[in-house]
Amino acid sequence: MLLTITDRLSGYTRLIPSLAADTAKDIAERFHEGWHRFFGPPTRIVSDRDKLFTSHFWRAYHNLMGTRLAMSTSFHPETDGRSERTNKTAIQALRAVVNKQQNNWVRHLVNIEFAINASVNASTNKSPFEVVLGRSPSLLPTSLNRPDLPDVPAAKDLIAERKAVLAEVRDALAAAKVRQAEQVNRHRRPEPDIAVGDFVMVDTRDRRLRFKTGHRKSAKLFDRFEGPYKVIAANVATSNYTLQLSEGDRSHPTFHVSKLRPYRANDPNLFPNREPARPKPVIVDGHEEWVVREILEETTRGGKRYRVWWEGYPQHEATMEPRENLVGTEALRCWELKKRMEGRV
């Protein structure tokens, strides 16, 4: 595993190898060795929502160190954009130089880290090295064939090998920047106008695990967006919005605008034949339940079952449900009262 640390101002980057079994304390040690000893503790850290970075230890440790923690928003790691770009760049560079066994990637991190910090940033027109050190150092000599240099083949071969690897890494970094720019431009679109008090729909692609659990339904068949939810807070500078989610929904309530779509209520005058949006389920004891509009009929084949017309759904989509699914509902109470009055119960 790879721990990447990037300074937001200069872009200076550290690439620190880590282990999958690392605890929050282990990562804190690596952070101390890889960053604190050079620059001291940062005033603020922006990270993803990995369980290590949301752990009690990690929060307490940085609170004691005087470092504020900020997390990326739900399903939008671009909030931590610079680190995400660094991760992608480092991985693409590693692909260019790692062997087939993928067991030599750690030794290449030095060259990749150097190349990243020596690359000129388009917005500052300076490399991270220049911003931090005031100059851009040279990692390797330009020539090995001067007559005044010692003629030791093994030493020359080692330096030549490092130069070749560094050249590959620089080419890979250049290609990675081009690909990332193309991808960003391809998917960039104008942001919708959303304000506090508006209602929005939420992209379900990253929330499907919440829908799948215990409902015997395929998450792939759920609507592309779900809602509407009310916007209760907005950070226009970062394009993040906090929503009033359904009671019992434990999802993080803040979403990037790319995961939202303005809610447009159906106008029956303009679209008289358009089917209205299906209502959201109600969360009861952590489970999603739908509102029963009416019980249409009863059958005793295979046990007592009822054909149920659900609130907000057309009658032809009524489903057969066992009695235990309806216990406690007003619809079942009315149905059984009706049958008693008819003398059938």
What proportions of the chain, in percent to the nearest 5, are helix, strand and coil? 40, 20, 40
Q: Which CATH number fits domain 2-187: 3.40.50.2000, 3.40.50.10190, 3.30.420.10, 3.50.50.60?
A: 3.30.420.10
| Cβ neighbours for 74, distance < 8 A, ≥ 6 positions apart | 206, 251, 252, 253, 254, 255, 256, 259
* One-letter amino acid of 86: T
Which is more confident, 321 or 264? 321
Report the 10 Å Cβ neighbour count for 214: 9
The pLDDT > 90 percentage for the chain reads: 19
Q: Output 275 or 32, whichever has higher pLDDT.
A: 32
pLDDT at 123 exceeding the cut of 90: no
**pLDDT band of 270, cuts 50, 70, 90:** low
Domain ranges of the chain: 2-187, 199-262, 290-341
* Helices and strands in the chain: count of H runs, count of E runs: 9, 14
In order of 12, 35, 138, the CA distances from 118 in angstroms are: 9, 18, 9
- CA distance linking residue 91 with residue 186, whole number of Å: 21
Q: What is the pLDDT of residues 303-319, one digit of tens each?
A: 889 988 887 677 777 88
Model pTM above 0.75: no
pLDDT at 90 over 50: yes
CATH class for the region spanning 290-341: mainly beta
* Angle at alpha carbon of residue 224, lines to 219 and 226, rounded to 5°: 90
